[in-house]
Amino acid sequence: MLSAMKYASPTTVAEAVDLLGSEPDARVYAGATDLIPQIRAGRPEPNVMVDLKRIERLCAISSSGSTYTVGAATPTADICAHDGLAAAFPGLVEASGLIGSDQIQSRSSWGGNLANASPAADTPPSLIVNDARAVIAGPGGERTVAAADVATGPGTTSLGPGELIVEFELDEPPARTADAYLRLIPRTEMDIAVVGVAARVTLDGDGKVAAAAIALGAVAPTVVRVPDAEAALIGNEPAGDALAAVEAAASAATNPIDDKRGTVAYRRQVAGVLARRAVSIAAERARERGGQS
Amino acid sequence: MTVTEPKPRYKYVGTRPVRHDGLEKVTGRARFAADLNLPGQLHGIVVRSPHAHARITSIDTSEAEAMPGVKAVITSEDFPAVAPGHRQYDMCVNVIARDKVFYEGHALAAVAASTRDQAQAAAAAVKVEYEVLPAVLTIDQALAPDAPVLHAHMMTAGANPPAEEASNISNITRFSSGTDMDAGFAEADLVMEREFTTRPVHQGYIEPHACVADTGQDGHTTIWCSSQGHFNVRSSTATLLGWENTRIRVIPAEIGGGFGGKTTIYLEPLAVALSAKAGRPVKMVMTRDEVFRATGPAPGTKLRIKLGAQSDGNLVAGDAYLIYTNGAYAGPGGLLGAMTVFESYNIPHFDIEALDVVINTARSAAYRAPAAPLTAYAMETLLDEVAEELGIDAMELRLKNAVTEGEPSTMGFPFARIGFVECLEAVRDHPHFSAPLGPNQGRGLAAGYWFNIGESSSATVNLNEDGTATVVTGSPDIGGSRASMALMAAEELGIDPMDIRPVVGDTEAVGFTDITEGSRATFATGMAVVEACRKMVVELRGRAAKMMGVDVDDVDWVDGQAVYTGSDSDKDPLSVADICAKAKRTGGPLTATGSLEAHGAGPGFAVHLCDVEVDPETGVVRVVRYTASQDAGTAIHPSYVEGQIQGGVAQGVGWALNEEYIYDSDGVMENPSFLDYRVPVASDLPMIDAIIVEVPNPAHPYGVRGVGETGIVPPIPAVANAIYDATGCRIRDLPMSPIRVLEAITANGGSNGS
Ligand SMILES: Cc1cc2nc3c(=O)[nH]c(=O)nc-3n(C[C@H](O)[C@H](O)[C@H](O)COP(=O)(O)OP(=O)(O)OC[C@H]3O[C@@H](n4cnc5c(N)ncnc54)[C@H](O)[C@@H]3O)c2cc1C
């Protein structure tokens, strides 16, 4: 109902952590593109809304040469417009660009997308295949965890009381490495993933797979990795039998539900198809990237 | 897009000026119902049933009444009692439930408070006790021998022999050729029979229902609202309240989409009753959730059609068994399905039976060419199968059997001049028809028919002191009709259309006018405008004759001027502005009205061609090319005719591919938002190439036939036939969502992908 709510706009991480700890029902937000619709739909109202967008560190993109640091509240529109990120993580940037519409993109963030912990969120599978790390600040200081370890189930995270995500760290990918993200939605945009698949592939000099990571969204309570598919690729060309094995393993790794957005059978079948296609696209990009890194 | 050149014989009709309401709309200045706020206004919230079917055992409003800011709480007790048999019983008990609720979201009380939050809190505090009843959620459940009967008074109308017990069948419609059907089918070389099922869909207008009501101590009320017919809002609200029409003035706001869904009322009587009780204006605005749960769905169906054809493609016999659900109350779905199913083709032996069935879902409302898109889905996909089976081109089969002028319709009257064949030919001759297709692509052809209606319309033309004109009609403008009124008036009077202000008058400012429905505004209200203008021209000639000092018989109206045709002497012609300037000296203000009951609404035909690309591994269907021809009679404003065609296609494609009401097993709607109720977004559609065919309607002064509805009739079968062409799969269950398409492809032997 958005009635008697307080608004705070800290400018430092420490201030934000203090505010978050000051009231039991305080909530941080970046774009609020998840939070506001949830409140309107009747979820409990926070009594303090802590706006993270005034904290410079949370909205900055920087690179040390070997590592990119992306503020957790950075609008995905800025991420999509960043040439360095687009070159290094084309799949992750594509996933970011799929969120909502231009209007949503000007607000939506990786931090919100991950912390909201929707199984169907578009960027977490790509963050995970790229081994992104989340830097988390809280009353006890800062800690760094794998992005894969933030969401623990639909709507639940491993963040402790008073904790917030400050930024994400992504290592510059090695040579002949690229990622891809594909999602299935019935429409062309403004829709929610029925299945989402991120793949990252590193090729060796002979065009065989040296390393692979595949993660599925919207087919289980949290993002699932597909180790069997990854293993099937290693040492093989990303084609033929290896891709068929990827497809089968991805379907088998799903643990989906029947709901208004999709059936178990559909999600299972399409997860395999998209995994195969995402690996092909990632491998093709890795080939094009050649030795550059 | 096909450009139709302005007709040489008209100066303004057929041109494309910017619509008079255009700038206000694109700059956001146009006032919709929810934009109005009155001093001291309260906010009204409706209390709705969480159950699909239940008896209301008690309603306790005492706690809600005592809450902060609450000024009034109403239930059905605040309205005069109505009993079954009352002319508008269904409408009355749908607006506010009496002893039973019939669907989840059914309104049963309402609260007005100083703020919306206070009203919401109080609405949640209204205590309702229910005896929950088993919900009837599908046609099969409704027709099961042991089905719970929704309405104890529902005796099937049209049953033969007459119904002796109440049932969930509200109505049976039967049309037949009266010939021997067995003999008819015996003449056929090929007989094919198919069944189809479809689910309810929503009109999906962007603007939720909204109104403000201000009731004075004199017992009169003013309602500002968005509707397709404010005279209907007046009479329906009066019926519910037991008031005379004169106590209610309805002022139409701009309307943000209706598509048939705003031809009935939901909020207005509640707002008036709350306002009367509180002595303050009351504003009510539905949420999207309420719009989905409590308004509008178009019927779901089960359809069975059997066709008999001879080897040369000649259709000889057709049998249709159509079942429509109109939600919780009686409705016209089956009747309208029966009136449209075989109407486009010459079928000498036909037998049509249609059932209207009630179930525990929201009361259905009209949706663009109500019922016809579904009969077209069945008929036009079956025709495709017949064509394929006979080895005849789908276009040829339609051309061969298409109805033409003078031929009797299944409704028993001969068609006047119609443009079905011309629409077929327009598509056949379009480059799209023979363009190559890419991999995984398919092409589908389908036709559609809608009869259109006339009804009552009124218009007043006022000439202003400076020679400009105001055209007041009673038709809410839901598709650009104001521009068309101005163009027709401009043509008649010889004034530039931009010097004419077309407005929609309130119920006290213009004569009675029926709802904007049945594609009737430009047709029927246009006729009233023309009638008023022609009376005005007679008056103008008289005034000019006075000014010239000549006999009126010697004054003609030519190109917007009074021209002296006598031989006495030379007289300068007089323009409208000249005559207006002297009006005070020649007889006073220049005003004319036209009011009529319009007859002869020319039926509309449309032919669509759709290309889809199907991902054989995911079942995702993308529409990649779309061409639509439609007979407009005469396109008064071609851009808005094209807009109507394109809008119909967009909605029809949504209906075909993704739109559906999803209920849980208790009848609770699971997808009441535009996230999960998937209307197409702009990127889902290619540019739709609209071909305007012009076969003038002899009953209209400019040859107009309505164009608002026919465009939604062919898209579902056009998409279905295209999917078949791409995949080899016939999908006879809507929507043709990725899940269903992939299931069909898998059942058909899998994909040819990767
Ligand atoms: C129209 C529309 C379309 C959408 N389309 C998509 C889509 O295609 N794909 C998709 O994945 N999502 C979609 N979304 C959902 C949403 O936009 C995304 O999840 C977005 O990334 C959320 O980011 P945000 O900054 O707006 O999150 P917020 O709403 O600000 O926050 C979401 C949650 O995360 C918490 N949070 C936010 N930032 C932090 C932080 N730094 N540390 C800890 N907790 C934090 C908040 O407290 C809240 O619980 C859509 C939403 C809308 C309204």
Residue B577: helix, strand or coil by DSSP?
A: helix
Verify that A275 and A234 share a domain, yes or no.
yes
Helical residues (DSSP H) of A148-263, grouped into ranges: 227-233, 240-253
Is the separation of the CB atoms in B465 and B509 below 8 Å? no
For residue A254, pLDDT beyond 90: yes
Residues in chain A closer than 8 A to B658 (CB atoms): 186-187
Residue A266 is nearest to which of B120, B670, B739, comparing CB atoms?
A: B739
Q: Do A266 and B120 touch (CB under 8 A)?
A: no
Dist. CA A28–CA A46, nearest whole Å: 9
pLDDT of residue A3: 58
Chain centroid, CA A68 distance in Å: 15
C-alpha closest to that of A268 among A278, A257, A259, A280: A257
Fold of B371-452+602-747: Aldehyde Oxidoreductase; domain 4 (3.30.365)
B501 strand-pairing partners: B470
Q: Is the pLDDT of residue B754 over 50?
A: no
What pLDDT digit, counting tens, does each position of B326-350 carry?
Answer: 999 999 999 999 999 999 999 999 9
**Nearest C-alpha of chain A: how many angstroms from B645?**
22
Q: Among A2, A247, A269, A274, which would you mutate to test the B interface (most chain B Cβ atoms within 10 Å of its Cβ)?
A: A269
* Average pLDDT of the residues in A158-185: 97
How many distinct structural domains can be found in chain A? 3
Show me where the domains of chain B are located: 33-134+203-294, 371-452+602-747, 455-598
Going by C-alpha positions, the residue among B356, B362, B350, B245 that lies closest to residue B307 is B350
Contact between chains at A266 and B678 (C-beta distance less than 8 A): no
Query: Chain A contacts of B618, Cβ < 8 Å?
Result: 184, 270, 273-274
A156 lies in the same domain as A225:
no
Share of chain B above pLDDT 90, in %: 96
Task: For residue A76, give the ligand 1 atom closest to its CA.
Answer: 21
Rounded Cα gap, residues A255 and A264, in angstroms: 8
Residue A150 phi, psi (nearest 5)? -80, -55
Instruction: Flag whether pLDDT at B1 surpasses 70.
Output: no
pLDDT at A206 exceeding the cut of 90: yes
B617 vs chain A: nearest CA distance in angstroms? 7
For residue range B205-237, list pLDDT tens digits in order. Answer: 999 999 999 999 999 999 999 999 999 999 999
- For residues B569 and B310, which has the higher predicted lDDT (pLDDT)? B310
How far, in whole angstroms, is CA A250 from its chain's centroid?
18
Question: Which two structure tokens, joined as six digits, stand for A221?
Answer: 């309570």
Task: Kindly state the average pLDDT of the residues A265-277.
Answer: 97
Measured between beta carbons, the chain B residues lying within 8 angstroms of A279 are: none
Same domain, A61 and A166: yes
User: Of A11-25, A121-135, B127-141, B353-367, where does mean pLDDT reach its minimum?
Assistant: A11-25
Residues A40 and A114 in one domain: no
> Is any ligand 1 atom within 6 A of the Cβ of residue A108?
yes
**CA–CA separation, B32 and B27 (whole Å):** 13
Number of A–B residue contacts, CB under 8 Å: 56
Residues A65 and A31 in one domain: no
Identify the residue whose C-alpha is closest to ligand 1 atom 31: A112
CB-based contact A122:A95 (threshold 8 Å): yes
Inspect the interface and report whether the beta carbons of B683 and A262 lie closer than 8 Å.
no
Rounded to whole angstroms, how far apart are CA atoms B91 and B98?
12
Q: What is the pLDDT of residue A1?
A: 46
Q: Do B681 and A269 lie within an 8 Å CB cutoff?
A: no
Residue A103 is predicted with a pLDDT of: 93
For the stretch A219-244, pLDDT in tens is 999 999 999 999 999 999 999 999 99
Q: Which fold has domain B455-598?
A: Aldehyde Oxidoreductase; domain 4 (3.30.365)
* Domain presence at residue A125: yes
Q: Residue B446 C-alpha to ligand 1 middle, in angstroms?
A: 43
Helix H or strand E segment including B237:
helix B230-241
Cβ atoms within 10 Å, residue B741: 25
d(CA B297, CA B261): 8
Average the pLDDT over A260-280 and give the result.
Answer: 95
What are residue A98's DSSP bridge partners?
A: none
pLDDT recorded at residue B751? 53
Instruction: Mark whether A41 and A60 lie in a shared domain.
Output: no
Distance CA(B333)–CA(B149), nearest Å, equals 20
Count of all residues that appear for chain A in the document: 293
Here the tokens at position B249 are 């003035």
| Exposure of A73 in the CB half-sphere (CA atoms within 13 A) | 22
Residues of B in contact with A189 (CB under 8 A): 681, 683
Q: CA nearest B659: which of B367, B446, B256, B376? A: B367
Do residues A243 and A209 make contact, with C-beta atoms less than 8 angstroms apart?
no
From the CA of A221, how far away is ligand 1's center (Å)? 17
Which residue in the block uniquely carries the two structure tokens 């739109």?
Answer: B659
Reported as type and span, the H/E element at residue B488 is helix B481-493
- Residue in A186, A260, A274 closest to B738 by CB: A186
The answer to whether the CB atoms of B683 and A189 lie below 8 A apart is yes
Residue whose tokens read 């022609």: B534
Residues A63 and A141 in one domain: yes
Give contacts of A276 with chain B, Cβ < 8 Å.
754
- Could you tell me the CATH number of the domain that includes residue A203? 3.30.390.50
Look at residue B2 and tell me whether its pLDDT is greater than 80: no
Assigned fold of B33-134+203-294: Aldehyde Oxidoreductase; domain 3 (3.90.1170)
Can you give the pLDDT at residue B237? Answer: 98
Q: Tell me, rounded to whole angstroms, the distance of Cα A270 from its chain centroid.
A: 20
3-state secondary structure of B271: helix
What pLDDT does A40 receive?
Answer: 86
**pLDDT of res. A5:** 84
* Ligand 1 centroid, distance to A124 Cα (angstroms): 12
Answer yes or no: do A63 and A161 share one domain.
Answer: yes
pLDDT digits (tens, 9 = 90+) for B670-725: 999 999 999 999 999 999 999 999 999 999 999 999 999 999 999 999 999 999 99
Supply the mean pLDDT for chain B: 96
Contact A166, A136 (CB under 8 A): yes
CATH (domain of A12): 3.30.43
- Locate all alpha helices (DSSP H) within B351-468, ordered by sequence: 372-390, 394-401, 420-428
Distance between CA atoms of residues A68 and A92, nearest Å: 13
Tell me if B403 sits within 8 A of B356, measured CB to CB.
no
- Mean pLDDT rounded to a whole number for chain A: 95
Pocket lining: A251 vs ligand 1, CB cutoff 6 Å: no
Asked if the Cβ–Cβ distance from A273 to B618 is below 8 Å, we say yes
Confidence check: pLDDT of B291 > 50? yes
Chain A hits for B683, Cβ within 8 Å: 187-189
B555-558: strand order across its sheet: B555-558, B561-564, B574-575
Pick from A3, A261, A269: which is nearest to B676 by CB? A261
Residue nearest to atom 33 of ligand 1 (CA): A116
- Whether the CB of A74 sits within 6 Å of ligand 1: no
Same domain, yes or no: A21 and A109: no
Residues A277 and A190 in one domain: yes
Are B33-134+203-294 and B371-452+602-747 in the same CATH fold? no
Residues A65, A126 share a domain: yes
Q: How far is residue B442 from each of residues B194, B613, B719, B738, measured CA to CA in Å?
A: 22, 7, 9, 16
pLDDT, tens digit, for every residue of B386-415?
Answer: 999 999 999 999 999 999 999 988 888 899
Q: Is A75 in the pocket of ligand 1 (CB under 6 A)?
A: no
Full residue range of the structural domain in which residue A37 is found:
6-51
**Tens-place pLDDT, residues A111-140:** 999 999 999 999 999 999 999 999 999 999
Helix axes A240-253, A264-289, angle to 10 degrees: 140
Confidence of residue B570 (pLDDT cuts 50, 70, 90): confident
| Closest CB to A184 among B620, B670, B684 | B620
Cα separation, B98 vs B107, whole angstroms: 10
Say if residue B275's pLDDT is above 70. yes
Q: B327 near B170, Cβ under 8 Å?
A: no
Please say if the pLDDT value at position B659 is more than 60: yes
- Cβ of residue A30 lying under 6 Å from some atom of ligand 1: yes
User: Best residue in A219, A266, A268, A280 to probe B by mutation, most B CBs within 10 Å?
Assistant: A266
Q: Are residues A97 and A16 in the same domain?
A: no
Distance of residue B684 Cα from the nearest chain A Cα, in angstroms: 6
**Residue A98 alpha carbon, nearest atom of ligand 1:** 8
Mark which of A115, A136, A171 sits at the end of a domain.
A171
> Cβ contact (<8 Å) for A270 and B737?
no
Question: What length does chain B have?
Answer: 754
Pairing between β-strand B248-252 and β-strand B221-225 as defined by DSSP bridges: parallel
Residue A1 lies in a domain: no
Residue B328 Cα to ligand 1 midpoint, Å, equals 39
Select the residue of A191, A262, A276 nearest B678 (Cβ to Cβ). Answer: A191
Q: How far is the CA of A222 from the centre of ligand 1 (A)?
A: 16
Is any atom of ligand 1 closer than 6 Å to the C-beta of A207? no
A124 lines ligand 1 (CB under 6 A): no
The H or E element that residue B197 is part of is strand B190-198
Mean pLDDT value of segment B288-292:
97
d(CA B93, CA B661): 23
Confidence of residue A291 (pLDDT cuts 50, 70, 90): low
From the CB of A105, is ligand 1 less than 6 Å away?
no
Closest partner residue to A187 among B117, B671, B681, by Cβ? B681
